[in-house]
């Protein structure tokens, strides 16, 4: 798509999974300059999309990281605000530290990155996609912290869409269901399933079959293409939308 050619993109959670797939998707369409953010410094070093790449290793919930990003960027055209972590526990058993870890990465990190992106687009306009989750829409036992954080991300996208519109900034959210990425390895219930099924691949396949009418979870490159659509001029009249991409799980 010509709209990405020569442009600058900010991507958080860029070292792995959906974020890395979004970087690859944008690079394949001519994005010339990347600002990549992730906690995982080594993982970030392995992402080489070509063009000019500025890497910022750190926590998205740390305001000092965003001061560094703001000091080093000029105009930002596109932003994929995607860094996040998962956890699962029933409300009665939630450890408050875990609650804070999830809310900090997924929600505190999101407001700081959104603020940085919107400031960098204020003069020229731009397009932003926030990675939410279907857990921010559909209630499932064990998803209190993660689901509350992602419901917050959806509302942030809507408010940002209202505030950004006069400046030509579109803001949308994508709400994936299950996607085959390393994030699952943080969920204890998934580790049990891997043991039961004999491999990680079999566990992902079993979950996709059980949970979705389409019978499978998504791949990261499929979600990246949908994020790319929302970023692109093809979605020029779409703002404040939540694109649910869950194989029918939430129906």
Residues that bind ligand NAD (CB under 6 A): 13, 15-19, 38-40, 43, 59-61, 82-86, 105, 109, 131, 133, 176, 178-179, 181-183
The CB-of-149 to ligand NAD minimum distance in angstroms stands at 8
The CB-of-238 to ligand NAD minimum distance in angstroms stands at 19
The CB-of-148 to ligand NAD minimum distance in angstroms stands at 13
Q: Which is nearer to ligand NAD, 30 or 104 (CB)?
A: 104
Q: Give the active site residues.
A: 146
d(CA 113, CA 121): 12
CB contact at 8 A, 4 and 206: no
The CB-of-225 to ligand NAD minimum distance in angstroms stands at 14
Q: Which is nearer to ligand NAD, 62 or 125 (CB)?
A: 62
d(CA 168, CA 166): 6
| Tokens read off for 178 | 């299950």
CB contact at 8 A, 123 and 85: no
Q: Between the CA of residue 138 and those of 141, 175, 176, 192, 205, what are the distances in Å?
A: 10, 11, 12, 23, 21
| Tokens read off for 118 | 């919107």
Q: Which is nearer to ligand NAD, 47 or 120 (CB)?
A: 47
d(CA 200, CA 210): 15
Q: Which is nearer to ligand NAD, 17 or 228 (CB)?
A: 17
Question: Which residues are registered as beta bridge partners of 172?
Answer: 129
CB contact at 8 A, 103 and 84: no
| CA-atom Rg of the chain in angstroms | 17
């Amino acid at each position: 798509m010509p709209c990405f050619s020569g442009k600058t993109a900010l991507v958080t959670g860029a070292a792995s999974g959906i974020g890395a797939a979004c970087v690859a998707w944008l690079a394949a369409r001519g994005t010339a300059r990347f600002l990549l953010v992730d906690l995982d410094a080594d993982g970030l070093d392995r992402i080489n999309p070509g063009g000019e790449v500025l890497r910022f290793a750190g926590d998205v919930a740390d305001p000092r990281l965003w001061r560094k990003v703001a000091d080093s960027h000029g105009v930002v055209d596109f932003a994929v605000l995607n860094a996040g972590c998962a956890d699962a526990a029933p409300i009665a058993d939630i450890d408050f530290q875990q609650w804070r870890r999830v809310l900090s990465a997924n929600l505190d990190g999101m407001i700081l990155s959104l603020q940085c992106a919107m400031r960098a687009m204020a003069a020229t306009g731009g397009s932003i996609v926030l990675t939410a989750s279907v857990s921010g829409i559909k209630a499932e036992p064990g998803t209190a912290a993660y689901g509350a954080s992602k419901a917050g991300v959806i509302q942030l996208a809507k408010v940002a869409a209202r505030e950004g519109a006069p400046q030509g900034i579109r803001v949308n959210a994508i709400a994936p269901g299950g996607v085959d990425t390393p994030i699952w390895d943080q969920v204890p219930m998934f580790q049990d399933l891997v043991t039961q099924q004999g491999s990680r691949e079999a566990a992902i396949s079993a979950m996709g079959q059980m949970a979705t009418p389409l019978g499978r979870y998504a791949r990261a490159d499929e979600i990246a293409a949908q994020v790319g659509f929302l970023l692109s001029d093809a979605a020029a009249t779409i703002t404040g939308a939540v694109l649910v991409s869950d194989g029918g799980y939430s129906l």
